[in-house]
Structure 1
Amino acid sequence: MPLSRNAKVLSTKQPRVSKANPTAENVNPEKLLLQEESCQTKRSLSSPQGGPKKRSAFGDLTNAHKNHVVSGKKEAVKVVLQKNHTAQGVARNNEINLQKSMKKTPPTEVPAESKEDPTPEKPVPEQVPAVEDIDKEQLGDPYANAEYAKEIFEYMREREEKFILPNYMEKQSDISRDMRAILVDWMVEVQERYPPCVDDFLYICDDAYKREELIAMEISILTTLKFDINIPIPYRFLRRFAKCARASMETLTLARFLCEMTLQEYDYAQESPSKLAASCLLLALTMKNLGGWTPTLEYYSGYRAQDLHPLVKRLNFLLTYQPRDKLKAVRTKYSHRVFFEVAKAMPMDMLKLEEILKSC
């Protein structure tokens, strides 16, 4: 009878079975493994008789020398058979334990009943806020062209990082903050819808400069800027964000008014154009009770509502206290009915504004 596969772990040799043993032919593989283990048990160096050294894991299996049966003594044969029968059960248990320790536990098979393809459960869809495609409509505006709008504004977002103004007031002594505010107020007052010609500039300056001097200064400015004059401004971002919110022209004009109010204040010069535009729109939407920052606005602007809260509060504070009452060009401009008289809108209570922003 061939040995089991695990027999090779112990020995590849089979023990010789004595012909005097009448039960040798009936010994099963487990008993053979037992006898091999008994024969290969190491002799203890401390034993003068060279007796087998017992192993706690195998109990009484070390009395293999009693298995030599003397012919004619039936009682001795019975004793050996009884002991072998007892050892057989122990060896079988130990063999099972040995197999478990030497082999990795095989993966649990799926019960026959569960092997059948069960009816798949329908996955619960996640509640993903819907984002509207605002570029699917063409409005004739090159900045809102459906094919290029996304890439245009991604490019503008990259460029605006290069044009964040440093604190230049500390590095020059030609003008002060008040002088800068007066200059901006004057520029708002004298602007026209279309670019004026050179003669118009000379007239506005009351002929303080000659034509050649004006043109020379223009060339100097362009050369200094290396003709890189396509600077991202808040107004471009504001129009796109207003489109995301489907804001009316009146709401857009209110946001523009808030944005132009910051032109005179040097503290806002260091804000990124896109963030300033987003904050102006959020305050305008809040003032008109038109809702908060939608998923579409968050997607296209790149700002969460929480990112805009500090700047929104500052804008409302600026609208409330108007630190430069003498410079009224921006307020006068947006008080006209052409601009929906948005300059007459009342600022929000700061506590109410904070409460609304927390719910956004």
Structure 2
Amino acid sequence: MPSVRSRRAPVAAALNVPVEQQNEEQEVSKSKRSTSPCLGVPKLKKRTALVDMTNAHKVHISFLGKKKKKKKQQQQEVTKTSSLSEKSQAEQQSSTSEGTEGKSSENDEEEKEEAEEQAVCHVEQDLVTPEVPVEFDVDSENRNDCFMIPEYAKDIFDYLKSREEKFVLQDYMCQQPNINAGMRAILVDWLVEVQENFELYHETLYLAVKLTDHFLARTPIHRDSLQLVGSTAMLLASKFEERDPLSVDNFLYICDDAYNREQFLRMEASILQALSFDIGIPVAYHFLRRYAKCAGVGMDTLTLARYFSELSLMDFELVQERSSLLAAACLLLALLTKDRPGWPPVLQFHSGYEISELAPVVRKIYSMVTQPPGSELKVVRSKYSHEVFFRVASLPLVGYDVLEKTLEPQRFPLIQL
């Protein structure tokens, strides 16, 4: 098929157009074809709307078009002043009066443009992340590992810590006349067994307990439905955390057909609606791994802290504590049990907690671990008594005197000999 350009010569010849004029028209058409949108090629120019994709309202951007306009205005003012020298005084006065009005309007436009640029290009100080001191920098060693994202690691955990404000729990058992804290502890102990049998992530277990607590804090239930709530919460958590989540059939099997499929689906919808579909709740396990990396502890110390943290899931008194604070308290108790320094400055920097803030929670965890387990709450202790978990459940705890010296050193002053 011949092109459009090859058809243009016979059409011009049929209209008896001279050859020179045809060549001129072709040159003009070539020059227009590169800029005219009517000929199928859009005119290339910058669009400020696209700059918003790169946070134009937060960073400084130079507008080239405005600079060109200002240069043209300056050139026009120079030509005006040269023409004024050739005119008479009367014409000069009249022209200057008009020029001042024009200049005033131009100045107003320039001031408006500058104000807009300052408003658009203003850098928000809250979004500028402060530099981490060298002695507290624990992410630079992973600068070549894209999966560790060292550039955003601290910002991510700071965001998770700020998000905890939305998920603070209170004592909700007064709103549950049919269940109590003991029943909840049995349910959590059973969820730990489910997590171990199906080899789920620990994050799935922690999130399932959080979903259960937040749902119970909003909806009164009967005791016969408590296992259904916990099972459905574990189902939702596996969908959120696992690569290969569990199905309803798995929970129908482990619940021994105590509930049917429709009940699971209705409970799943009820939990999601009660939580407004916001199930990305920060859990203690996330913070615990981060704090262990900051402290540079070994896997045995981290496993001991995880043991304390999983035991705390069953204690209703610790439900009201923030996940970041609970993780820090578990790690502090594990460090003292392993004869490590109490709370180094690097942990205080990355966690944001001092020993005085951790002391009440550490005492609660210490008393919880020292108490003998109930006859129905042995899954966590037996789990961490295995050699895979370094048998941390059988390790002797730190002495109470050593614990108090670390938590309140001012009560035990050093004796100078």
TM-score class normalised by the smaller sequence: 0.5 to 0.7
In structure 1, how many angstroms separate the alpha carbons of the residues matched to 2:276 and 2:146? Answer: 27
Question: What's 2:166 paired with?
Answer: 162
Deviates more, 1:171-180 or 1:190-199: 190-199
**CA spacing shift, 1:277–1:314, aligned 2, 3 Å:** same
The answer for the alignment partner of 1:88 in structure 2 is none
Query: 1:75 — aligned with what?
Result: none
2:256 is matched with 206
Q: What whole-Å deviation, never above 9, does each CA across 1:55-93 have from its counterpart, x for those lacking one?
A: xxxxxxxxxxxxxxxxxxxxxxxxxxxxxxxxxxxxxxx
How far is the alpha carbon of 1:219 from its aligned partner? Answer: 2.1
Counterpart Cα distance in 2 of 1:134 and 1:352: 29
Please tell me whether residue 336 in structure 1 is matched to residue 336 in structure 2: no
Higher share in helix: 2
Shift of 1:130: 6.5
1:184-195 to 2 correspondence within 5 Å?
Answer: 184-191=188-195, 192-194=198-200, 195=245
1:131/1:295 contact within 8 Å kept: no
Return the offset for 1:211.
2.1
Q: What letter matches 1:169 in structure 2? A: M
Change (3 A) 1:131 1:174: farther
Match of 2:367 in 1: 317
Where in structure 2 are the equivalents of 1:109-128 lying within 5 Å?
Answer: none
Matched letter for residue 192 of structure 2: V
Matched-pair contact (CA < 8 Å) for 1:275–1:308: yes
Checking the alignment, whether the CA contact within 8 Å between 1:334 and 1:341 is kept in structure 2 is: yes
Q: Which amino acid counterpart does residue 162 of structure 1 have in structure 2?
A: K
Q: Is contact 2:307–2:392 with CA below 8 Å preserved after alignment?
A: yes
**Contact map agreement 2:136 2:349 (CA 8 A) in 1:** no
Q: Is 2:323 aligned against 1:273?
A: yes
Identity over the aligned pairs, expressed in percent?
51
**TM-score, normalised on structure 2?**
0.52
One-letter code aligned to 2:313: L
Is the alpha carbon distance of 1:336 and 1:274 closer, same or farther for their aligned partners in structure 2, counting shifts above 3 Å?
same
Per-residue deviation at 1:181?
0.8
1:313, 1:350 within 8 Å by CA — same for their partners in 2? no
CA–CA distance in 2 between the matches of 1:147 and 1:332?
Answer: 39
Identify which of 269, 276, 299 aligns with 1:226: 276
| Contact residue 289 and residue 302 of structure 2 kept, 8 A | yes
Q: Secondary structure at the match of 2:303?
A: helix
The structure-2 alpha-carbon separation of the partners of 1:217 and 1:298, relative to structure 1 and needing over 3 Å to count, comes to same
Report SS of the residue matched to 1:293.
coil
Aligned mates of 1:323, 1:329 — CA distance in 2? 10
Task: Find the aligned partners of 1:224 and 1:321 in 2 and give their Cα distance.
Answer: 35
Shift of 1:359: 4.6
Q: Look up the match of 2:288.
A: 238
Q: Kindly state the Cα deviation for residue 154 of structure 1 after the two structures are TM-superposed.
A: 1.3
Deviations 1:162-197 (A, max 9, x none): 111111011221211111111111111111333422
Q: Measure, in 1, the Cα distance between the counterparts of 2:388 and 2:323.
A: 25
Structure 1 CA distance, aligned partners of 2:145 and 2:188? 31
Deviation at 1:323, TM superposition (A): 5.3
Count of aligned pairs: 231
Residue 301 of structure 1 is matched in structure 2 by 351
Distance in 1, Cα, partners of 2:398 & 2:339? 11
Counterpart of 1:133 in structure 2 is 137
Distance in 2 (CA, whole Å) between partners of 1:207 and 1:330 is: 25
CA RMSD of aligned residues (A): 2.1
Q: What is aligned with 1:349?
A: 399
- What letter matches 2:199 in structure 1? R
Partner of 1:89: none
Match of 2:24 in 1: none
Equivalent residues of 2:186, 2:376 under 8 A apart: no
The whole-number CA distance in structure 1 between the counterparts of 2:146 and 2:199 is 17
Q: Following the alignment from structure 2 to structure 1, what is the Cα–Cα distance between the partners of residues 186 and 141?
A: 41
**Residue 290 of structure 1: SS of its match in structure 2?**
coil
More displaced stretch, 306-315 vs 169-178? 306-315
Structure 1 counterpart of 2:254, one-letter code: I
Instruction: Tell me which amino acid in the other structure corresponds to 1:155.
Output: Y
Deviations 1:11-39 (A, max 9, x none): xxxxxxxxxxxxxxxxxxxxxxxxxxxxx
Structure-to-structure mapping, 1:2-13, within 5 angstroms: none
5+ long unaligned stretches in structure 2: 1-132, 201-244, 411-417
* 1:288 maps to 2:338: yes
Residues 329 and 358 of structure 2 are in contact (CA less than 8 Å); yes or no, is this contact kept in structure 1? yes
Inter-partner Cα distance in structure 1 for 2:136 and 2:377:
41
Per the normalisation by structure 1, the TM-score is 0.60
Deviates further, 235-244 or 168-177: 168-177
| Letter aligned with residue 183 of structure 1 | L
SS in structure 2 of the partner of residue 291 of structure 1: coil
Q: Secondary structure at the match of 2:135?
A: coil
Do the aligned residues in 2 keep the contact of 1:131 with 1:299 (CA within 8 Å)? no
